[in-house]
Amino acid sequence: MANPPKKKVFYQIDEVCQRLGLSLLDMSVLVSERKIQLCTAVAGLLVEDGHHEVALDGDAAPFPDDRRRVQGLVDLKPDDAWFVLRHGSQTIFWLAAEPGFYRRLVSTSEEDRGYTVIRDEVGVRHEELARYAATEEALHNIALGPKAGGRGSQPIYDWDAARLEACRLIYFEGVPDSFGALIRHVQGWFAEKGGRVPDESTMKRRLRDVWAIFGSEAKRKAA
């Protein structure tokens, strides 16, 4: 019997937009606001990694640390990612790096200056998709929750934590085989907390949008 397929490590941009219910324009806004990180796959791209140090005149000067060839998924700078989404392609000369550091593409001849990225090859890592989805779910629930300092009875169930637990499961263990399996897992999570366990119909209503984002992966596994 064949082993079940593993979770995807990379989602093309069209699939990301479909899963999140966003248009390309919506995604462009998120990218420009640095709310989601896009990446692309490369093979043997020569890059220089370095850091910036503040010189005596107050300007930040670049200092190379290493030069090597990279392959696999690499993060794009937000400005380049935005341009690819809006115009279909972009020739890049830099890759995204941590604050205070840089990653520059190294040209070995006039013919290989820069690297052209096209929209069909741009997407999001699985971890980044799960992080963004979990963050948006938490913010959405907080916005719909009772106002700070308001009176009234406290909610019976901590749905913010429950939905984050569902996203945690998907992030670390992959998408469950079915919506029912996800519900049973979160019900078990409630039971381990020692409180009341919501009924199945309530669970379906509360987790329906989470499953709408990631459920297609379960269908792919079953195919």
Span 137-165, average pLDDT: 63
Maximum CA extent, the chain: 70
Residue 83 burial (CB < 10 Å; 0-12/13-18/19+)? buried
Whether 121 has a pLDDT exceeding 50, the answer reads yes
Q: Which residue has the higher pLDDT, 137 or 66?
A: 66
Chain segment 202-211, per-residue pLDDT in tens: 888 889 888 8
CA end-to-end span of the chain: 14
Pairing status of strand 101-105 against strand 94-95: antiparallel
Place of tokens 């998408």: 175
Distance from C-alpha of 41 to C-alpha of 39, rounded to nearest angstrom:
7
Residue 21: φ, ψ to 5°: 70, 40
Whole-angstrom distance, CA of residue 69 vs CA of residue 120: 23
Look at phi and psi of residue 204 and say left if phi exceeds 0, alpha if psi is from -120 to 50, else beta.
alpha
Contact 20/213 with Cβ under 8 angstroms? Answer: yes
Residue 103 in tokens:
């990653």
Residue 68 has pLDDT above 90, yes or no: yes
Domain ranges of the chain: 10-125, 145-222
| 151 pLDDT above the threshold of 80 | no
Quote the pTM value.
0.62
Per-residue pLDDT, 185 = 93
